[in-house]
Structure 1
Amino acid sequence: MLEALARDRIMVALDVDRTRALELADILAGHARWVKIGMTLYYAEGPSIVRAFKERGFKVFLDLKFHDIPHQVRGAARSAAATGADLLTVHGLGAGPMLAAACEGAREAAEACGGERARVIAITVLTSMDAPALASIGVAGPLADEAARLAALARDNGTDGVVCSPQEAQAMRQLLGEDAWIVTPGVRPAGAALGDQSRVATPAAAIAAGASHLVVGRPITGADDPLAAFEAIVGELVRDA
C-alpha cells in the first residue's frame, strides 16, 4: 500500500525529445505512474505525444502554464484536456476570471469526451525564482506571502490545487486543506545537482511538508540508470512514511 502510494506521488518530468521520452517511458513502464510533459516536448510534438503516453498506461501531467485572456485560456484548457491529459496548469497571476475559465474548459472537455475531468492546478511562484527575481517584476513583499496570495485566489476560483516549491508546501496544505493537490517541482534527492532551481527539498522532506505529488526530472532522466534512480526515490518515500 505504501509503495503504491509512493509511486503515484512521483511525476517524472520528460524534458527531452520524443525519441528519448518514449525510451524513458518504456524503461519506467510498470514502475512509474505519472509523466510530466512540458512546453518543449508538447510544442514539438503536439497532442499525439499525450496519447502516446496514455497508450502506455501513464497518467499525464500536461504542464503548459496557461496565461492569456479568459476566452483563450478556456479554449486552451478544453483542447488540452481533450488530448487525455489528467492534470493541467494555469498561472495564478492571470487573476480570478482566467483561473475560473481554465476550470470551465476542463469541465467542457470532460462533458464532450465522456471521461473524467482533468484536474487544474495553479502556478504560484516558479521554483526558479527567488526574492530578488520577484522584486525585479515589482513584487516587493515576501515570497511566501505572494505564493499564499495566489494560492487563495486559485482556491476561490475553482482550481484543484497549486504548484509551489517544497518550501511553501506546509503553508499551502494549511491554507488549502487536506484534499488539495499540492504539486512540488524543485525536488532533488540528497546529493543531486540543483540545476536552475532555487527553492528545493528532498523527496521525503517535500512529502512531510504537505506535498501531494513531486515533480522529478533530471535526477531520474539524466541518471545512468533511470529506473534505479526512480526506485531509489520510491524507497526513500516508503522508508520515511
Structure 2
Amino acid sequence: MKHLPIIALDFPSGQEALAFLEPFEGTPLFVKVGMELFYQEGPAILDALKEKDCRIFLDLKLHDIPTTVQKAMNRLAALGVDLVNVHAAGGKKMMHAAVEGLESGTPAGQSRPGIIAVTQLTSTSEDMMNKELLIDRPLQETVLHYGQLAYESGLDGVVCSVHESKVLHEHISPSFLTVTPGIRLPNDQTDDQKRVATPAFAKEQGVSQIVVGRSITKAENPKEAYHQILKEWE
C-alpha cells in the first residue's frame, strides 16, 4: 500500500469534494470516502475519483449479521476501491464472512480490496467505553483483543488510534496494517476526536497509514497543509 496520507473527503456532496481536489491535479492521492459522501452520491463519486487516479478507502464500517455483511462486501468488491472496513465488534464469524464476500465479488484477474476492522473509534475514551458501552476492560486491552480477532479472521489490519499501533504490531504482526485517524498538526483543534496525534508521532509509533481530515480540508491552504503533513509523515 503506497505510503501516502489518506485525505478524508468529509464533504456533503460530490461537487464540493471534487472542487476541493482541483488544486491537487497531477498529485498522487489516497482519499477516504465516508458515509456522508457515499450515501449522497453513491458509486458515481468513486468513478469520478478513479478518473483522477485517486486510490480510495471506502469507509462504510459494515456491522450486521454475517450473511448480510458477506453479500454487501460481494457488491463493494466490484466497485474498484482499494480498502474497505467493518466493525470488529461484529465478531469473527462476521469478519470472516466479509473477507469471503470480498473474495467472491472481486472480478477475475484483480486483487481483492484490502479490508480492515474498526477496533474502537478515536472519539471513544476509556471512560465512555467503560460507563456507556459497559466494556469493563482497559481501552488498549480491548483494542488488542479486537485486533487479534481481526487477524484470526483473515483481515489485513485494523483502524485504531496512533497510541495503540505499536502494541498491535508487537503482539500480532509487524505487517498487520494499522490505519489511524485522529491526525492533527500541532496547533489544530481536536474537535470531536479524543485520541489524537501528529503525523511525526504516528511515524514514531510505526503506524502503517494515517487518515487526515479537517487539518487539510479546513486549512486556509489545503495543498500546503497536505504537503506539510506529507513531509512529517515521510
Q: Normalising TM by the smaller chain, what interval?
A: over 0.9
Greater helix share, structure number: 1
CA contact (8 A) 2:122 2:160 kept: yes
Does 1:222 pair with 2:218?
yes
Matches within 5 A, 1:45-124: 45-110=41-106, 112-124=107-119
CA contact (8 A) 2:7 2:30 kept: yes
Structure 1 residue runs of 5 or longer lacking an equivalent are 1-6
Aligned residues: 232
Corresponding residue for 1:131?
Answer: 126
Q: CA deviation at 1:84?
A: 0.9
TM-score of the pair, normalised by structure 2: 0.95
Structure 2 residue runs of 5 or longer lacking an equivalent are none
Query: Aligned partners of 1:160, 1:106: CA distance in 2, in Å?
Result: 12
Query: Aligned partners of 2:161, 2:62: CA distance in 1, in Å?
Result: 19
Letter of the 2:115 counterpart: V
Query: Aligned partners of 2:108, 2:74: CA distance in 1, in Å?
Result: 10
Corresponding residue for 2:143?
Answer: 147
Letter of the 1:126 counterpart: L
What percent identity do the matched residue pairs reach?
Answer: 39
CA contact (8 A) 1:25 1:53 kept: no
CA contact (8 A) 1:163 1:184 kept: yes
Corresponding residue for 1:18?
Answer: 14
Q: CA deviation at 1:205?
A: 0.6
Q: CA deviation at 1:54?
A: 1.0
Single out whichever of 41-50 and 152-161 deviates more from structure 2: 41-50
CA contact (8 A) 1:161 1:176 kept: no
User: Could you list the per-position Cα deviations for residues 23-73 of structure 1 after superposition, in whole angstroms to 9, with x for gaps in the alignment?
Assistant: 122222333420000000001111111111111101000000000001110
TM-score of the pair, normalised by structure 1: 0.92
User: Could you list the per-position Cα deviations for residues 173-202 of structure 1 after superposition, in whole angstroms to 9, with x for gaps in the alignment?
Assistant: 112322221100011111111011000110
Corresponding residue for 2:195?
Answer: 199
Superposition RMSD in Å: 1.4
What SS does the aligned partner of 1:126 have? Answer: coil
Are residues 175 and 33 of structure 1, via their aligned partners in 2, closer, same or farther at CA, if it must alter by over 3 Å?
Answer: farther
Are residues 113 and 25 of structure 1, via their aligned partners in 2, closer, same or farther at CA, if it must alter by over 3 Å?
Answer: farther
Query: Aligned partners of 1:78, 1:52: CA distance in 2, in Å?
Result: 21
